[in-house]
């Protein structure tokens, strides 16, 4: 079975036009891209502040498509900024270039797989699914609870996960909903809590030691996290991939968790920005700073609570505030959800809700044969952009 990709619907094909697939290289910005293709810089500079921030979310290594006319002149381009949204630059009816943020179309599949261990869980999951990101996420999810050296041949790994597919390839990061490792004497489980997206064991104990602290003393939250908000008046999508903490200029900002500084410098609409890489595939981003702690360099290891910079409004933000972003495996997630988790054990209503979900999922893992899905064959999916 072949699936049509709705991506092509955005393109009006004309004779001789062609689509080129490229990878966004490290160091390229929307402005350097515009310059290369003779798109006027004002298309970027006339954007509202929130759209400028979103343009800074383009990540190095992302695949994007550009359509050229028969003279090799750019007509349209689509560049993902998250797993949900993409930048669309195109010529409108009057021949002027316009930038818009639109949803990405993809297909998402829920899979239940069972793998009998022959070599190592990593290798065997790779062999069964050809999905490296899934194998990585599985190892990460169990790293604090299972000693994989104790696994024996024919032990069983069961995973229930969601995976996006786009243009005939895996797209974005797989989401493990539940998984188990069945060893001779004991079965180990992990369950993703829908409320905070963290992994817990059967009793609602957190399996990650990672805790995030609020990075400053703030006045109020001026803008919350939204993945795909549609603005009813503007009739446009305006996602906000972080939390804005309003605070006076100069207020100190602290590292939200231990980690290594991987970016310190200007980042388009985010202005002066610091990015820290933590354990468990997590990163935090601190934007619109007025100044940095000069003792902190790219490559520095910082402890949680270390002073890293001061609140400002660089990058054309409206008033002084900290835009605080949190990413797991490159995917933006709501920082407030992670900050609110201050305990390592779920209690009360939260535990009740979790236990309901976990009980259903445990049954599916325990009866893996019954719930097993046919493996995804990427070759069954359409990869071409031609209609
Ligand atoms: Zn913001």
250 Cα–ligand 1 center, Å: 18
Name 220's bridge partners.
246
For residue 153, what are its two tokens?
């041949």
Q: Which residues of 211-221 are buried (b: 16+ CB within 10 A; e: fewer)?
A: ebebbbebeee
114 Cα–ligand 1 center, Å: 41
pLDDT (tens, 9 = 90+) of the chain, 387 residues, equals 233 333 444 445 556 778 888 999 988 899 999 999 999 999 999 998 888 889 999 988 888 999 988 888 898 999 999 888 899 999 888 989 999 999 888 889 999 999 999 999 999 999 999 999 999 999 989 988 899 999 999 999 999 999 999 888 898 889 999 999 999 999 999 999 988 888 999 999 988 767 789 999 999 999 999 887 777 776 778 889 999 999 999 999 999 999 999 999 999 889 999 999 998 889 999 999 999 999 999 999 999 999 999 999 998 767 899 999 999 888 898 998 888 655 678 889 999 999 999 999 999 999 988 888 888 888 777 665 432
- What is the pLDDT, as a whole number, of residue 382? 67
- What is the pLDDT, as a whole number, of residue 179? 97
- What is the pLDDT, as a whole number, of residue 1? 29
For residue 319, what are its two tokens?
């008033």
Distance CA 163, CA 174 (A): 5
Helices (H), strands (E): how many in the chain? 8, 23
363 Cα–ligand 1 center, Å: 41
106 Cα–ligand 1 center, Å: 26
Domains of the chain: 6-103 (3.10.450.350), 107-208+344-380 (3.10.450.350), 220-339 (2.70.70.10)
39 Cα–ligand 1 center, Å: 26
240 Cα–ligand 1 center, Å: 6
- What is the pLDDT, as a whole number, of residue 369? 85
Residue 124 belongs to what H/E stretch?
helix 121-129
For residue 160, what are its two tokens?
């229930």
Query: What are the backbone dihedrals phi and psi of residue 48, each rounded to the nearest 5 degrees, phi first?
Result: -65, 160
- What is the pLDDT, as a whole number, of residue 387? 27
- What is the pLDDT, as a whole number, of residue 10? 46
- What is the pLDDT, as a whole number, of residue 342? 58
For residue 346, what are its two tokens?
């779920």
Instruction: For residue 178, give the nearest of 188, 169, 166, 191 by alpha carbon.
Output: 191
192 Cα–ligand 1 center, Å: 27
242 Cα–ligand 1 center, Å: 6
Distance CA 244, CA 323 (A): 4
- What is the pLDDT, as a whole number, of residue 6? 38
**Residues lining ligand 1 (ion), CB within 5 A?**
242, 244, 323
49 Cα–ligand 1 center, Å: 9
220 Cα–ligand 1 center, Å: 13
Relative orientation angle of helices 121-129 and 132-142, to the nearest 10 degrees: 150
Q: How many CA atoms lie within 13 A of 173 on its CB side?
A: 16
165 Cα–ligand 1 center, Å: 29
Q: Could you say which DSSP state residue 375 is in?
A: P
Residue 289 belongs to what H/E stretch?
strand 282-289
376 Cα–ligand 1 center, Å: 37
323 Cα–ligand 1 center, Å: 4
Instruction: For residue 189, give the nearest of 366, 64, 320 by alpha carbon.
Output: 366
- What is the pLDDT, as a whole number, of residue 7? 43
pTM for the structure as a whole: 0.81
Distance CA 160, CA 139 (A): 14
244 Cα–ligand 1 center, Å: 5
251 Cα–ligand 1 center, Å: 17
């Amino acid at each position: 079975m072949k699936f049509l990709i709705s991506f092509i619907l955005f393109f009006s094909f004309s004779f001789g036009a062609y689509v080129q697939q490229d990878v966004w290289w490290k160091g390229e910005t929307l402005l350097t891209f515009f310059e290369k293709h003779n798109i006027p810089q004002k298309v970027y500079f006339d954007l509202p502040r929130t759209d400028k921030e979103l343009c800074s979310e383009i990540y190095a290594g992302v695949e994007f498509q550009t359509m050229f006319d028969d003279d090799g002149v750019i007509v349209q381009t689509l560049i993902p900024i998250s797993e949900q949204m993409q930048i669309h630059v195109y010529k409108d009816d009057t021949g002027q270039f316009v930038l818009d943020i639109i949803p990405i179309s993809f297909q998402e599949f829920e899979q239940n797989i069972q793998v009998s261990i022959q070599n190592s869980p990593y290798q065997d999951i790779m062999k069964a699914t050809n999905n490296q990101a899934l194998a990585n996420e599985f190892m990460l999810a169990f790293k604090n609870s299972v000693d994989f050296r104790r696994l024996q041949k024919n032990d069983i790994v069961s995973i229930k996960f969601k995976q996006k597919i786009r243009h005939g390839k895996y797209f974005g990061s797989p989401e493990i909903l539940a998984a188990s490792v069945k060893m001779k004497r004991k079965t180990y489980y992990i369950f993703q809590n829908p409320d905070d997206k963290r992994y817990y064991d059967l009793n609602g104990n957190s399996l990650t030691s990672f805790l995030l602290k609020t990075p400053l003393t703030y006045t109020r939250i001026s803008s919350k996290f939204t993945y795909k908000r549609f603005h009813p008046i503007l009739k446009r999508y305006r996602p906000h991939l972080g939390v804005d903490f309003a605070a006076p200029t100069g207020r100190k900002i602290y590292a939200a968790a231990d980690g290594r500084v991987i970016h310190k410098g200007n980042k388009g609409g985010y202005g002066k920005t610091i990015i820290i890489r933590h354990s468990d595939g997590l990163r935090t981003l601190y934007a619109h700073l007025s100044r940095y702690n000069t003792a902190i360099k790219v490559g520095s290891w910082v402890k949680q609570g270390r002073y890293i910079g001061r609140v400002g409004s660089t990058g054309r933000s409206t008033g002084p505030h900290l835009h605080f972003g949190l990413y797991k495996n490159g995917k933006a997630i709501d920082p407030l959800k992670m900050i609110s988790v201050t305990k390592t054990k779920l209690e009360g209503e939260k535990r009740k809700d979790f236990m309901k979900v976990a009980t259903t999922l445990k049954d599916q893992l325990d009866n893996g044969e019954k719930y097993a899905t046919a493996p995804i064959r990427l070759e069954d999916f359409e990869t071409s952009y031609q209609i």
